[in-house]
Chains A and B, each alone.
Chain A
Amino acid sequence: MTGALALAVMACHRDPEPRDPVVADAPESPEPAWIAPDAPSPMRRLTAVQYDHTVRELFRGAPIPAVRFPEEPTDSAFDGTAEAQTPNPLYVEAVQQSAIAVTAAAMAADPVAWLGCPADGGPDPAGCGAAFVEGFGARAFRRPLTPTESDAFGAFFADELASGPFSAAVQLTAQAMLSSPQFLYRLEPVPDDAPAGWVRAPLDDYAVASRLSYLLWASMPDDALFAEAAAGELHTVEQIEASALRMLDDPRAADAVLDFHRQWLELDKVDTLNLNTDYYPQFSAAMNPSLRRDVEDVVLRVWDSDAPTLGALLHDSEADVDWALSIVYGVPEGPVDLGVTRAGLLTRPGWLAPKSHITTSSPVLRGVWVLERLLCTPPAPPPPDVTIDGGLLFGQTTGTNRDRYEQHTADPSCSACHAIIDPIGFGFEHYDALGTWRDTDNGYPVDATGLVWLEDGAVPFDGVGELSDLLSTDPVSLSCYGRHWFRFASGRAEGSADDGVLGPLLDEAIATGGDVRAILLALVRSESFRTLPVAP
């Protein structure tokens, strides 16, 4: 990196504030020295996606309605970030309403598959209920019930059965379970018998099962995983890796991979896309589901391939074109290879359009995403009293969108960051706000040349195709992709205490070209995956 540009990048980069370790005077650990004792393992709550997958698994085969949780005000990249999961009244009410809706729907259909008897309790309602409490309870809590729990929920069911219909007793008992911390949170308590002197304790096998299932499936463990936990077979690296390999071959793994990329790509923003139809008369909000599906198809196609790498995500050019995509891509409906202008996620309207303004494309929004999510160098927030972006009232009606932005950010107070952001974002200027390809903009030829700062310094490129080539192989982007997987898996941002885990993980990401399977296996092999810190 050249001196001036290096300074500009450093001035623009927003360093996370380091946190001081909270563990003091930790005794010598029997665990490997490269795991810092203060690498935290915060308790995580099921995300909305995990909740949805879990209740569908719990109530096997039942038609479960979509549930509505409040949108948490979080700036974290991933909604499973523990520090953003503080409970609040809206959330607690949503839990109650969801439990009512889910259990009513599950009971309205034939409940035998998950209840073990018909909706009226069959010949032995009390016996069916007792078995339900133990069996369903163990699956809901993801471990066998303790005697205290068995007594409490068993007595509750019996009381309800004594005063009302069997169906209501089952629903109420299940609702109480779905509202309990053993279900909503991934509790990983330190065993009371943890040997003195330990700074990290091994997780019990049921907790490992849940870590595996929520990382690899975004859902609860299946029967096989429960059986392995019950047999104490989720303790060693080899055992955990063997289970992970089985799980990665299961169709449910696609759910977790999709959940990661939904958040990493900010795909939910497609749902509320609302471009201005004076500027984009071909647009309607009815197109949004298609734009989203197109990106999801790329992710799923790559995941199903032999090489599910970052490079593949940035180069896949196939599409299943429907009426909406046909408008944007300008090709007939049906499966098609779109060619080089649509190679990879960063060329798809489902990624491009939400990173636009409603009338114009935004090199800034697109460049910032690449900096944050592919280079892990988020720019500092803009200083006060400066114009940041956009500007239909900016006064310039001639020239290209790029011309406008270049004039816009010539201000010295802006240029420190925009010298880094905009040259990346300009690479996307062949795509308008909707993501339609354009050779000219406002009557002038599009200039999509740009500059991106990678491992060896500033590298020029022309268009997204060349940018994607660079990002597919450079250690900076590959390790950044791996770093986001760590955050997704851990429910927190990394800190200095994670160096021992991150090092091998990022090495694996770089060595494999960002192979998702390799990254996930590196995560589950790590010592911190099967241990947790012991607070003094």
Chain B
Amino acid sequence: MPSRVPRTASPRAALSRRRVLQALGFGLTAGASPTARAIQVVPPRRIVFYVTSHGTIHENWQIRAGNPDDVDYSLDLAAAPDAALSPILAPLARHKRDLLVVDGLGNACGVAAGILSHAAGGACCQSGWIPGQLLGGDVTQAGASLDQRIGATRATPFRSVEWAIGGMACCYDATGHALPFESDPVYAWRRLFPFSAAPTDPTALAVAGGQSRVLDLAARQYDDVLAGVPGRLPAADAARIALHRDLVRDLDTRLQTLAAIDCAAPTEPTEPAVPSDDATYPEIRIGQFLDLAAVALSCQLTDVVTLRVDEIPTATIGAPPGDVHTDIAHDVARDPSARDYMTTHHRFHAEQLARFLDVLAAIPEGEGRLLDHTLVVWHNELATGDHLFGTVPYVLAGLGDVIDVGRYLRFSDQYYIGGRLGPQWVGTPHNKLLTSIGQAMGLADDHCGVTEVIDHGGNPIDATGPLPGVLR
């Protein structure tokens, strides 16, 4: 792993950041805050993917401002009155100058996959590849998802973190396999701050102090197995052994870096006092994860966070007892009350996002705010609750020096894409937006995932290049 970027000290900034974090309810322990040493001269670009489910209710998400559906247009959100924002996006009005809302993109890869829509949507939404399915049923990808590709370029202790409150996979490693999520904020916290409770017993101290040597010896065993002691392994098995060896080495490096990093742990999250089907439970859980994300980004423990959120009790959106997925989301095409409930559902996520943006905007960094150096991407596995991929909602926020924020972009092109489960109309392939996001984060690639998708008539649809209007 490359060495970390040198840092400069700024006591004033540190005190300010601590006050801000405490004021926002981070519950930092005494003296515990990202300190000045965690601030670089040139802050790195970070990214947070907030991935929700069941698409959106498009008529309650879009902002038309008198424009017809079949034309491309751009709106100046920064100058628009708050009331111009749609019912779902309204909670984000206070951040409209930091927003780039992208309307009209479709998940063409998801259609082309021809597998269960939720699985296909999750597999495609952050990768842009057309997933396949192994004999055992597992969904695999042709390569890494965008979050992993960005993370691979970073020298932070954690190249990325993947958290979830339910939902199918959306992060894929370089071998195309889905990555597991950490679903408990307590364990996410322990992972970020493994040295927050140092042992005092001499034996335990010696054991803790010997971990680097343990990992080194273990890693050498992987080397020996790869070298053919005793006997030779098939190539596929050898590749897994090599990957495991690299991950052991990474862990050793990570633990050494974390031991040296000057970022005191916030208070360990606790299990919410309310049951998991309580209306307030998701807000508490999401808040715990996003608060951790803010600290992790601020301390440069990682530059890449994915938070997948799927499981919301009906009580949260004021609906009768049931299951949001099967009892409500599936019915949006034929039941007005289902549309109303799902509008509340998506608005709920806008509220969580707005609160997170509040936090990022309140943390000073360099000459600006943490939000100025962090791109937040709110996106979705689907376009609608009944499994269409046509117009997936995208909201970008932050990183204003790179992203052309303060605007609403509408793309009106539609393509008829085939798939084993049936064709459907989808907008411009979202691969282009992923490409733009990748470029914003420093990747040089001119595409993300597939380079083209074939329409129902057998004609190729170009999926390369950045999406116009996203980057400054």
Contacts and interface: CB of A to CB of B under 8 A. Distances in A.
Given A104-B204, A185-B241, A77 B214 contact: no
A395 interface: yes
A274 to B, nearest CB: 6
Interface string A70-94: 1111111100010111111111110
A11 interface: no
A74 B136 CA distance: 9
B244 A87 contact: yes
B322 A276 contact: yes
Contact of A172 (B116, B136, B213): B213
A85 B138 CA distance: 11
A389 interface: yes
A104 B225 CA distance: 28
A128 interface: no
Interface in A114-166: 146, 148-149, 152-153, 156, 159-160, 164-165
Contacts of B422: 383-385
Interface residues of A, number: 89
B247 interface: yes
A327 interface: no
Contact of B180 (A81, A90, A392): A90
Contacts of A181: 221-222, 225, 241, 244
A16 B136 CA distance: 9
B331 A387 contact: yes
Interface string A271-310: 0001010110000000000000000000000000000000
Contacts of B222: 180-181
Nearest to B221: A180
A394 B323 CA distance: 13
Interface string B183-209: 100010001000000000011101101
Interface in A159-199: 159-160, 164-165, 167-168, 171-172, 175-176, 179-182, 184-185, 187, 189-192
B178 A73 contact: yes
A164 B232 CA distance: 37
A179 B323 contact: no
B179 A88 contact: yes
A276 B115 CA distance: 31
Residue among A16, A73, A156 facing the most chain B CB atoms (10 A cut-off)? A73
Interface string B18-31: 00000000000000
B232 A358 contact: no
A189 B231 contact: yes
Interface string A408-419: 000000000000
Nearest to B178: A73
Nearest to A184: B244
Nearest to B420: A380
A86 B177 contact: yes
Contacts of A395: 335
A325 B104 CA distance: 53
A172 B218 CA distance: 11
A165 B206 contact: yes
B37 interface: no
B277 A274 contact: yes
Interface string B345-381: 0000000000000000000000000000000000000
A387 B225 CA distance: 51
B387 A382 contact: yes
B67 interface: no
**Range of interface residues on B (Cβ < 8 Å):** 35 or more
A89 B251 contact: yes
Interface string B41-66: 00000000000000000000000000
A388 B217 contact: no
Contacts of A182: 221, 225
A92 B247 contact: yes
B136 A392 contact: no
Interface string A368-404: 0000000000001111111111111111000000000
B119 interface: yes
A187 B229 CA distance: 11
Contacts of A530: none
B202 A165 contact: yes
Contacts of B338: 393
Interface string B124-136: 0000000011111
Interface in B404-428: 421-422, 424
Interface in A503-526: none
Contacts of A385: 333, 386-388, 422, 424
B120 to A, nearest CB: 9
Contacts of A355: none
Contacts of A384: 111, 117, 386-389, 421-422, 424
B218 A176 contact: yes
Given A75-B137, A152-B217, A92 B387 contact: no
B341 to A, nearest CB: 8
Contacts of B7: none
B9 interface: no
B431 to A, nearest CB: 20
Interface stretch (B91-99, B168-176, B264-272, B445-453): B168-176
Interface in B59-85: none
B232 A192 contact: yes
Contact of B210 (A148, A172, A359): A172
B287 to A, nearest CB: 21
Contacts of B177: 84, 86, 88
Contacts of A391: 326-327, 330-331
A75 B119 contact: yes
Contacts of B277: 274, 276
Contact of B328 (A19, A75, A171, A393): A393
Interface in B209-231: 209-211, 213-215, 217-218, 220-222, 224-225, 228-231
Given A387-B334, A393-B335, A86 B231 contact: no
Given A165-B203, A176-B214, A357-B322, A86 B175 contact: yes
A17 interface: yes
Given A168-B203, A387-B386, A156 B331 contact: no
Contacts of A387: 330-331, 333-334, 386
A43 B235 contact: no
Given A152-B220, A382-B387, A75 B210 contact: no
A16 B232 contact: no
A493 interface: yes
Contact of A168 (B169, B206, B330, B386): B206
A111 interface: no
Contact of B136 (A43, A92, A358, A493): A493
B180 A70 contact: yes
Given A87-B247, A156-B213, A390-B327, A146 B229 contact: yes
Given A388-B326, A393-B338, A168 B179 contact: no
Interface in A14-45: 16-17, 19, 42-43
B337 interface: yes
Contacts of A73: 168-169, 178-181
Residue among B139, B240, B335 facing the most chain A CB atoms (10 A cut-off)? B240
A83 B136 contact: yes
A180 B232 CA distance: 17
A93 B335 CA distance: 46
A392 B320 contact: yes
Contacts of A42: 234, 236-237
Given A73-B168, A77-B136, A395-B335, A87 B231 contact: no
Contacts of B10: none
Given A389-B326, A390-B322, A90 B211 contact: no
B243 interface: yes
Given A171-B203, A385-B386, A393-B338, 15 more contacts: A74-B136, A148-B224, A152-B220, A152-B221, A165-B203, A181-B221, A187-B237, A357-B326, A358-B322, A384-B111, A384-B387, A390-B322, A393-B328, A393-B337, A394-B331
6 contacts: A83-B135, A92-B250, A99-B214, A152-B221, A389-B326, A393-B338
